[in-house]
Each structure stands twice: as structure tokens, then as C-alpha cells.
A and B are shown apart, each in its own frame.
Chain A
Amino acid sequence: LNASLDRVPCSSADIANFCLDLARSDVFSAIGLGSGDAQKGSLNPHTAAKLAEDLTDPVRTAESVAAALGDICTDDLNEATYDALAIAKRHGIGLVNALERAQRFAADISRDASDTQLSRRDLRRNLDSARDHSANLIDDLGVVVSSLVPAGASNVGGEEAAKRPDRSKRVAPAASRVLTVTVRPLPAIGRARYAAEFRTELWELAQSGASRRAQVAYATRQLRSAWKLRAALRTPARQRAGAL
């Protein structure tokens, strides 16, 4: 991941590609893993349920990218936004296709597995949720594309650029959106705290002159470690008095 982040792209299209590729590869690897297990007959209900839960994770990532794209593109109307969004939309459609395959795969598991009704219900519910998320993603991207293309086409003059405020030391809205999604999987007990903490850090980064690209990279790193943080926060707190 660090190697990937060293190559964090700088244009809207590259950022869209980068994040959506991450999401899509996660989906495909999850599906591949599950399919392999199912063929070997070794997939148990817990693994299946976990797999379904994992599938919702990359979709959340993709969702955050979709939200962030709006800001990126609003900031960069002169930077070929139409191309960026078209690419993002194409990737989003790939994501939906992958999730539909996952849905079929889940149906197969439900037929074949001799597990409990509860696990099957969880699996189906998670996959339905994943598919709904991805469908929303496509809708959002479609809306952003249709609303931004005319604006982008009419906003290529130098005067507009001259009027633009100095964006240095400003928190990148795209990074801010990614952080909003980052705290979603955290337990309620730590969500507000980490939301505030990440936003403070992002603000500090912006004040230190970090570029929008660096800010998005920061937020993406936090997003990628959100599940580790969630695990840490879900561990029961140790009894302090004399426990150590």
C-alpha cells in the first residue's frame, strides 16, 4: 500500500482510477477467495458471512470516492472532469457487475450449505446492502457527470481562474469527505472523537502547506486503516486499577 501511495496520482481522473481500482480489486479478490472455498466445499457459514461483510467494505470505499469526486471536480473544472467522471463511472459499473456475481455466488452458497438460516440471512442481507451501495454509487456518479459537464464546458476562461481564491492552506474537500466515510465503521464510542481528531490532523496538514494530493493521500491512509482502528476500539477496555 505504501508503495502505491508513493505513486498517488495528481489529476482527478487518476485519483478516481486509483481509489476505484482499490475498491474493485478488493471485491474481486473477496469473490475469488469465496468461490475457491465453495468449490472445495470448505466454505462454512461464518466464512460466508464474513465474506459478505468484507464485500461491503470496498463498496464503502467506492462510495467515499464518489462523494469526493464531486468536490475534486468542482475544484478542477478545467481539468478534464468529464473524462475523470466517465472513467469513474465505468469503474463503478464494473463494481456493480462484480457485486452481482457475488450475489449469485451467495445464492449458490445458500442452496448448497447446510448451515443455519441465520447465517444465510446475514449473508444475503450484507450482499443486498453491498449491491444497494454500489447502485447508489452509480446513480451519484451519473448525477455528477450530467451536472458538471455543461459547467465544465463553459468554464474554461482565464478570468474565472484569475478570480479563484488562493487555495493554499485550505483543507481539501475531497480529503474531508473521505474522512467522513473513514469514521463510519468505527464503534459509536469512538466515532465522534476520531472524526474530530482526523479533522484536526487534516487541518494541520493543510496549514503546513500540504497539497490537495497529499491531503487525499493522508485521508486514504486513514481509510485503509479504519478497520484496524475499529478492531482496536472493539476490544474490551482493560480494568485500570491494579490490572497491570
Chain B
Amino acid sequence: MPPRRKSPRPRMTIPTQLVLRTLLAEPAREMYGLQICDEAGLPSGTIHPILARLEREFGWLESRWEDVVPAEEGRPRRRYYKLTEDGAERSRIALAQAATSTVSLRLAPRPAGGLT
């Protein structure tokens, strides 16, 4: 059997969409895990598998350790995430497509309700 072809974009689950929307709000801004959780309104534990896929499998994200000396700052380093330029573009497209399919799904079964 031929190997299954990988999709060029992640499955656009609701949590994935929320993470992407959060990162796209300010694409140049770097954010750390808890910050993304807070702003996306997702519970911790949800986002790391999503971020890992977006970064490792699709290359839409890049991450780096914060450039501080923990002993001087008195706190551990954060891991910052940011959309790549290409990732931001692809995220916009994927989110738009996801929104379109959601809208069409929602409208199809009930054409009444004000349409003339």
C-alpha cells in the first residue's frame, strides 16, 4: 500500500485555530507558553502538542530560549514562540479556509431565517 500523503497544513481544530489567531494578532511578537494559553483561553496541556506540531512538522513556528541569565534575573528562562513569515501567511490562509467551511456548514442546513 502506498504511504499516506501528509497534509500540507495542520488539522484546523478549534484549539489550533485559537492558537494561530493568538499568534497572528501580533505576528512579530514573541510569546511564551502560558501567555499563549491565557490569551487563547485554552487550558495548559493543550497547547504544547499543537505548538510542537506547528513548529516541527509544518515549520510555521520558530522558538528560542529567552536570552537572559537565570541567576541574574532570579527566574528561569522562558521559551518564546513566534510565527515564521511563511507560517504567518499560511496561517492566515488556513484560518480563512477554516472559517469559510464553518460558515458554509452552518448556513447549509437552515436557509430560512431572514434570507429572501
Contacts and interface: CB of A to CB of B under 8 A. Distances in A.
Contacts of B101: none
Given A199-B76, A204-B34, A218 B52 contact: no
A139 to B, nearest CB: 30
Nearest to B78: A200
Contacts of B75: 200, 203-204, 207
Interface in B49-68: 49, 52-53, 56-59
Interface residues of B, number: 23
A214 to B, nearest CB: 10
Interface residues of A, number: 31
Contact of B76 (A196, A233, A240): A196
A36 interface: no
Given A225-B45, A231-B49, A244-B86, A201 B56 contact: no
Contact of A2 (B8, B43, B58): B43
Contacts of A5: 43
A235 B49 CA distance: 11
B33 interface: yes
B57 A237 contact: yes
Contact of A221 (B32, B45, B56): B45
Contacts of B52: 190, 229, 232-233
Contacts, number: 72
Contacts of A233: 52, 56
A228 B76 contact: no
Given A193-B79, A243-B59, A201 B44 contact: yes
A201 B33 contact: yes
Contacts of A228: 49
Nearest to A241: B59
A222 B76 contact: no
A238 B58 contact: yes
Contacts of B46: 221, 225
B48 A229 contact: yes
Contact of A235 (B48, B56, B86): B56
16 contacts: A5-B43, A193-B79, A194-B48, A197-B33, A201-B32, A201-B34, A203-B76, A205-B34, A218-B45, A221-B43, A221-B46, A222-B48, A225-B49, A229-B52, A232-B52, A233-B52
Interface of B: 8, 32-34, 43-46, 48-49, 52-53, 56-59, 75-79, 86, 90
Given A196-B79, A197-B79, 4 more contacts: A190-B52, A204-B75, A218-B44, A244-B58
Interface of A: 2, 5, 190, 193-194, 196-197, 199-201, 203-205, 207, 218, 221-222, 224-225, 228-229, 231-233, 235-238, 240, 243-244
